[in-house]
Amino acid sequence: MDSDQWKLASLQYLEHLGKLGIRHLPKPSAKLQDMLVEWKSVDPVIKPAVASKAKPPSTPVTSAPPAKIPMGPPVESPWLTPAKNPQERTAALSELKVKVEACRLCHELACQRKQTVFGVGPVTTRFVMVGEAPGAEEDRIGDPFVGPAGQLLDKILIATGIPRDQVYILNTIKCRPPGNRVPSDSESENCRPFLEAQLEILQPDYIVCWGAVAVRAILGTTEPIGRLRGRFHWYKKTKVLVTYHPSYLLRAPEAKKLTWEDMKTLMRELGTLKP
């Protein structure tokens, strides 16, 4: 608003006050009266000083449809097998798990366990990792290899290039021995049918035995790991590799290089070992 507009606005205000009977304000001069008449004849609509040069688009802007990504055949994981019957396997394992949970063959273990530890992994895997028995963390959580030994196993699997979530991990014994003691022969014998049933359902191409308890249950031998490691053995139609248990590796770190050699044997077999 310029100065003249302000003056006219003031005059309008004074006129309005006059109509209300407010007389003590000074009467506008003749010149201001003329300006008031002039102001009232002007179109009061204020127009923009400069018209916008922007033109509306002639056609509405619409977002382009997302480009279609060509879908090829699904990528097959080298760690999984295209099993014909995953639902049947899942059902069979669930049924077996119920039996394990109800088992009390080993009185001492059954009395002291928080829960049984059945195993975890995809039912279509080609690889089964067999450990010894649940520790305190496994007993608490209900999954195998979740304590410190499990963390070391994770590192070994990562170094080997095997995704943990694509292998089935289980223990020879499904209940925690008190104080993490080594399971007795009778406990291993009691639990072996469950292990065999799991392997029968999973039908893996490879088993890795982690430690002497697994070796005894799978290969039926008491030969020391030092004499069995470094080559493949057979469990029915499945290739078996033997190495030290991660708990032992935590106690004897100098043996880690031997387990790494065993992992390289597996990688060589799979063709994944880089020269």
Q: Does 104 bind ligand SF4 (CB under 6 A)?
A: yes
Question: Under rule CB under 6 A, how many of the chain's residues touch ligand SF4?
Answer: 15
Considering only 5-13, 37-45, 98-106, 223-231, which stretch makes contact with ligand SF4 by CB under 6 A?
Answer: 98-106
213 binds ligand SF4 (CB under 6 A): no
Interface segment toward ligand SF4; rule CB under 6 A; list 25-33, 63-71, 104-112, 259-267: 104-112
Q: Which residues contact 238 (CB under 8 A, 6 or more apart)?
A: 199, 203, 204, 205, 206, 207
Q: 105 forms bridges with which residues in the sheet? A: none
Contact segment (CB under 6 A) with ligand SF4 among 6-14, 67-75, 102-110, 152-160 equals 102-110
Q: Which is nearer to ligand SF4, 181 or 251 (CB)?
A: 181
3-state class (DSSP) for residue 145 = coil
Cα dihedral 248, 146, 118, 169 in deg (nearest 10): -70
Binding ligand SF4 (rule: CB under 6 A), the pick from 14, 32, 105, 182 is 105
In the bound complex, what is the minimum distance in angstroms from residue 108's beta carbon to ligand SF4?
A: 9
Q: Closest approach of Cβ 193 to ligand SF4, in Å?
A: 8
User: Is residue 191 within the footprint of ligand SF4 (CB under 6 A)?
Assistant: yes
Show the DSSP H helices in the chain as ranges. Answer: 3-19, 30-40, 86-102, 107-112, 136-141, 148-160, 185-202, 212-219, 225-228, 246-251, 256-270
Whichever of 109 and 146 has its CB closer to ligand SF4, that residue is: 109
Q: Write the single-letter amino acid at 150.
A: G
Is-contact 216 188, C-beta < 8 A? yes
134, 174 contact by CB (below 8 A): yes
> Could you say which residues in the range 112-141 bind ligand SF4, by CB under 6 A?
116
Question: Does residue 212 bind ligand SF4 (CB under 6 A)?
Answer: no
Per the listing, tokens 């030969």 go with: 223
Q: Using CB under 6 A, which of 80, 103, 120, 255 touches ligand SF4? A: 103
- Residues in 142-181 at the binding interface with ligand SF4, rule: CB under 6 A: 173-175
Helices (H) and strands (E) in the chain, counts: 11, 5
Give the C-alpha separation, 275 to 272, whole Å.
9
Query: Which residues make up the interface to ligand SF4 (CB under 6 A)?
Result: 100, 103-106, 109-110, 116, 173-175, 187, 190-191, 194
